[in-house]
Amino acid sequence: MFPNSSNLGRPPFLPKHQQHNNFFSELPLNIPPTLLSHQQIVDARFNFQNAALSRALLSGNLSTIPAVSPQPLTYGNGSSGPTSAAPTLFRGRKRLSEQNVPYDVKRQRFHSPHCESTLVNQTVPSPEERRYSFPGSIPSPLFHAHYIPDLTGCVPPLRDAPFPDPIETTLPVAKDKLSQQVLELFQACQQQTCDLNKKELCRTELQKEIQRIFPQSRLFLVGSSLNGFGTRSSDGDLCLVVKEEPVNQKTEARHILSLVQKLFCTKLSNYIERPQLIRAKVPIVKFRDKVSCVEFDLNVNNVVGIRNTFLLRTYAYIENRVRPLVLVVKKWASFHDINDASRGTLSSYSLVLMVLHYLQTLPEPILPSLQKNYPESFSPTMQLHLVHQAPRTVPPYLSKNGSTLGDLLVGFFKYYATEFDWSHQMISIREARAIPRPDGIEWRNKFICVEEPFDGTNTARAVHEKQKFDIIKDEFLKSWQRLRDKRDLNCILPVRATIQKR
């Protein structure tokens, strides 16, 4: 139930014979230092200082009494105590330093008009389990918050392990100028651990507050924040699972979200701003966390987003050319204003699937179909609390294709500019090929068809105007021609400006 949970049941402090007069020896052992909240550090420091004071008074040596200096509170306002059982991390917050200045952002959404019908036991925690933050400081059934890869597997699990990771630092060799530019952009703009931790802290606090309304609920961080394709400017996607059964998105989900929005507008208004209920096929509440300066989208029971998060995470890490290529394509689409589903263009999710599809369809593929090769690991009926384990079982994919990042980027634009048949074909990473369009209503009168790998819906259904479709095709064609001739990323995307804007 709780993988990597050897610290559960452990006393919070070392045995007396192992203790030292050191502040960090007083910190809880079952929480990795990178995930400690400011309040936990203050509490531990307070305990340590009280212990030192007692020892000094008993010994009569007042010179050993530690100096008590006021600590700046990032989370918390120094009040006499919390008014509820929830920690005071988000009470009376002050704006953080420059590292939290909001970025220009594009959201990766996981819209699905179908409800997930395969949610089974243990998706929603028992009352005993609800005391554990998810996926906070104590390991939990789905995933762990510390973004550090496994030493033995191909795909890094999210777990509290403070050891170095060779996978994170292994990048493809870039000998030509274009490949070097791709790598430079990737290294500068990829999501950092601190970015993920800020989102995770907000998720942890929101879950505690939402559980006051829905005690059996669980809040999941999904999307680009966890799937390996996040950037410094990526927003947060949250999935609120309120029960095991499917939720009617038109009625029940909207009602639940209206209660969440009311909570945000009233009790949580000191750190949640601009909460808006968006009545789409999959309704969401959009809001901004004032402390992290991160924008969030929160849906109810759209659990396909949890499944595809870990499918994409596996694709991201089984081949080291995948993540740099995806990041550059996302930045390119954003720069050319074709990366916004709310404006009738492509979502980030669709763009990721398009890159993966291209890499699967090369004469010598760089990626396989994971759902074909590992059907048990990526089954749409897998119990939700097991989904996070699937990536660990997949070994690296050893492709015979030695193409450089620059060659692959040029080939990506060429494929969609000259080879892919938009009128008759559908992009499918599940099949690892372009397949004929279905005849269902989901696919009629749609200019771009990208199959969602679990529920089979069209992730690019937002592109429903011919004018927008023509703009997208034209950008692919122009970018291919320019990149083919100049082999310089700046001719389609200003590298310096993009890095500065991140």
Secondary structure of 153-191 in HEC code, one letter for each residue? CCCCCCCCCCCCCHHHHCCCCCCCHHHHHHHHHHHHHEC
What phi and psi, each to the nearest 5 degrees, are found at residue 419?
-110, -40
Identify the segments of the chain with pLDDT beneath 70: 1-169, 502
* Region label for 76, one of left (φ > 0), alpha (ψ between -120 and 50) or beta (otherwise): left
pLDDT given at position 154: 55
Go through 289-306 and write b for each residue having 16 or more CB atoms within 10 A of its CB, e for each that does not.
bbbbebbbbbbbbbbbbb
- Alpha-carbon gap, residue 111 to 257, rounded angstroms: 16
- Alpha-carbon gap, residue 457 to 115, rounded angstroms: 11
pLDDT tens-digit series, residues 141-165: 333 333 333 333 456 555 433 222 3
pLDDT given at position 493: 98
Chain centroid to Cα 138, Å, comes to: 19
pLDDT given at position 442: 78
Q: Could you give the angle at which helices 322-335 and 304-318 cross, rounded to 10 degrees?
A: 120
